[in-house]
Structure 1
Amino acid sequence: MPVDNGYTFGTPREIDALKPKEKRYMAKDKLNNGLFLDIKPNGRKVWVYRYTFNRKQERLTIGNYPDLSLKDAREIRNENATKIAKGISPQHEKKKTNNGYSKSILFVEYGERYYNDVIKKDRKNPKNMFMYLHNDIFPMIGHLPIKEIKIEQIRDTIWRKKDQGYDASANQVKGLLKRMFDYAVTLGLVDFNPVLAIPTRHVFKARSRERYLSTGEIRTFYTTLFNSRIYRPRKLGILLSLLTLLRKSELLRAKWEHIDFEKGEWLVPETKADSKTGYSREMVVYLSDQIIEILNELKTIAGNEPYVFVGRQRGTHISHNAFNTAQKSALALTDIPPFTIHDLRRTASTHLNEQGFNADAIEKCLNHVMTGVRGIYNKSEYRKERMELMQKWSDFIFSVIFEPNVVFFNDYMKKN
């Protein structure tokens, strides 16, 4: 049991000033409310709430600092004090809320329960987390009891993804593992979170991308793509990515019920969540003649299926990597430097700005949030400008990539 040597704190700065010693010791909240910090020799600081229930001393481990701030720890302490006043022991309640979790539980069992109890409740689309668990985490540490997992196994799990060349995905794996072990600490399954020992900066450092395709690269890539043996809907999807300025995920989930051919509008009811606000916004894509032509062909292929890009099973859309695989296959037939599907949005934005289109209308086509004072007061949707922009953009792209030996463009040019 750590010793209470009279150390106190009242602000985050005072907490930061509490340095580890050779032996564990306790520091007390100046509010004298039973909230303590258990400072360990390794520097870890753990929130502990000490209280009396039925004339007996009990203690409740709340979480780690700074993962849990002073403000949050005090709020949790107050919530538990209310339970005590109602005759409820927070310590006994915590044991009940473990829902049968055992310290000897294998990580794969814990992970499955975490997925159902936490991830599926917190996320509208938990598919990516499911894939990280089953493809990247369980094969590495699923067979181990959760209490026996060390930093080495965590590092190996994350670095396996890095060694495959997917640093951003490795960071996603690290983030998921951190949240899982945070929850395990809360449940009392482990004493500390081993993922905290691995700094994010060593796993992944985000860099702003600048890659976009020049006019010549657009011509070469799409001519090669349409002359390849790649499945035709994939070709048309990659072309739509450039013409519509939509994100790949928005294309994958596209449904026919959201496309109005008569109005020439394509509603995207749920776009990718904004990185700043965390909220998704619906948007409208105004359809050019060329986009309508492409969609008509895809409708013929899809038949009665609900999705524009039909998956292998009825009622599903194509996989997350379908466009990536097709794009890389076509790219390998050229000498064009690497680019991603997402870079096509930057390609469109760059060329449209160079051609002198309204910058605000371009941002609306990209479904970006306008920042600053203009974002507060400018609520225009630029409908007219966007309709004109989309048609001229399609005209430009078709003038660039039309080749007599490409059947699709041959047919289109004959009709127009």
Structure 2
Amino acid sequence: MGDLVPAPWGGYLVTGYDACNQVLRGRHWLVPDFAWQDRQTETERWHAVATQEMSGTLSRLNAPEHTRQRHSLGNLFDRRTLQDMAPDIEADVTALLDRLAERIRVDGVADLSALVSERLPINTVGRWLDIAPEDYAHILEITHNQVHAQELLPSKSQLAISEEATLHLRRYFTDLVQGRRKNPGDDVVSGWIRTWDALESDREVTDRIVYQLTMFVTIASLETTATMLSTLVWSLLRSPGSWEGLRARPEHIDGAIEEALRYDPPIRLNSRVAGEDTEVAGVFVPKDTMVHVMYGAANHDPRRNPDPQVFDILRKGSHIAFGGGAHYCLGAGLAKLEARILLGQLLRRFPTLRAAAPPEYAPRMVFHRVTSLRVTA
């Protein structure tokens, strides 16, 4: 249908790999921030509580504020940080797979998504931010509900669910920041408070920014990583010979992770708006027009990845599963580390692992959340 396809509700779907890259990396392409939202006639969605709350986070900020906040974080997950985190992730994976093995032993089948994929990211990020483990289940639940507002065309009922979850998230993370303000430590959040205290004279501004950063980093890392882990395993199990082949050649684990991200990305699309009159794939796009970058379609562009419907862990292809440009995913390195450790242990401990049923998905378009993946061994 072309690299730029008109959407029925207005704007365009961007499908080609090069066209998507152009939009993601182009300095004249913006995220739909407060200024853009204020210019829209469809006020109900853009003025919804959940939408407004997320619009204050990194994902909806443009330069110069996005640049300022991103620079304040530095390289969140550099090589040394990941090396320091790896032993705890290894221990977490071991404990989670112990539970998976026990459930399979007792029941014959177990839900990998519920028992492992959803637990590992919240354990990892929760420990990194020094969040109380007894709060993990609550954070997971409200995160699942909050992301409705980030869908392509959320309904009124979805926005209502998202609003309630957003208010819970606001209370939780505001209290968390206030607690670190009163009792600072060596944790990440206390470090962010010190950084922003040096940048801002107003502590209320500092605390709001740190709240938004903490909340965003937490929820941004949960659903996406969990789905990435489940789809990685599913892609290998459904591809004949892949599981056995990877067990024999574990040096290809990184290739399998990249191919799973290309083949079935956890986020299917992301939206941008034209900051000025421009052109994409030979099509004139007026200023303020919204386009939807179709990650999955781009990753399956045969001009970039020949035979894109074939899952091939030796492909060494290209993908944009983590976005690109100024808004490239902050947690890409951490997500791949979790996947690498989980897959390595799964291959060693479950040589005959197989899917008992295809995965089940939440009815969404943006976040391709796996709600269940039943496996046996």
Relative CO higher for 1 or 2, CA cutoff 8 Å, sep ≥ 6? 2
Which of the pair has more CA radius of gyration?
A: 1
TM-score w.r.t. the length of structure 2 is 0.20
TM-score w.r.t. the length of structure 1 is 0.19
